[in-house]
Structures are given as C-alpha cells and as structure tokens.
C-alpha cells in the first residue's frame, strides 16, 4: 500500500492486505438472521391477553355504538380500534410461531 488508501504493487517481502472472510460471514449471519424463534418474555406473555381483552371491549363498544343513536365517527373509531387489535394479534402470532412452514 502506498498511502494507506490506494493499493500499490506488491513487492518482495510485503504481503497483500487480507480480509478475514469467516469473521465477516459470522458477523453478517449473527446480525442478518432474524427468523429464529425467541423465548417468550414477560412482555409477550402479557401483550396477548391484553390485546384479546381490548379486542373484545372494542368489538362490544362498536356493536353498542351501532345500535345506539351515537355519532357515526364514534362507531368508526371503535371499529378501527378493533381492527388494529386484530392486526396486532395476527402480527404477534407470526412473530412467535415456530419455523414449521416457510
């Protein structure tokens, strides 16, 4: 190397700069691999029942607001909240399930 940035010709007695490919591959595998199953933590165990409870509460509120003479935007809000809880439950299911199917 002539100035530290541009590789120059290799002369007798000098060695070419090497890159440890195995270390780079291991680091990449450790950082890029996100499909492994994680152990169920406290947050994961608490989040699912809370989401189910909120889903049930919002669904009942949505039904009551549809039957009662309430502003339509209140019903839409409860419907969107119900949909959000359902989407969060589905996302959590796919996060925590095993690698049975690809």
Q: State the SS3 of 39-66.
A: CCCHHHHHHHHHHHHHHHHHHHHHHHHH
Instruction: Quote the number of domains for the chain.
Output: 1
Mean pLDDT of the chain: 76
The answer to whether residue 16 sits within a structural domain is: no
Residue 29 forms part of a structural domain: no
Is 24 within a domain?
Answer: no
The arithmetic mean of pLDDT across residues 46-50, rounded, is 90
Structure tokens at 16: 């070419």
Range of the domain at 52: 42-102
Give the pLDDT of residue 95: 86
The structure's pTM equals 0.55
CA distances to 47, 67, 88 from 61, in Å: 21, 10, 19
Residue 97: band (very low, low, confident or very high) from pLDDT cuts 50, 70, 90: confident
């Amino acid at each position: 190397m002539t100035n530290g940035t541009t590789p120059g010709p290799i002369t007798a007695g000098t060695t070419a700069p090497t890159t440890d490919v195995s270390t780079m591959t291991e680091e990449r595998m450790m950082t890029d691999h996100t499909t492994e199953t994680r152990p169920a933590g406290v947050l994961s165990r608490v989040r699912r029942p809370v989401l189910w409870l909120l889903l049930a509460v919002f669904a009942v509120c949505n039904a009551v607001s549809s039957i009662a003479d309430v502003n339509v935007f209140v019903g839409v809000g409860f419907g969107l909240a119900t949909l959000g809880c359902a989407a969060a439950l589905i996302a959590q299911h796919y996060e925590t399930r095993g690698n049975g199917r690809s």
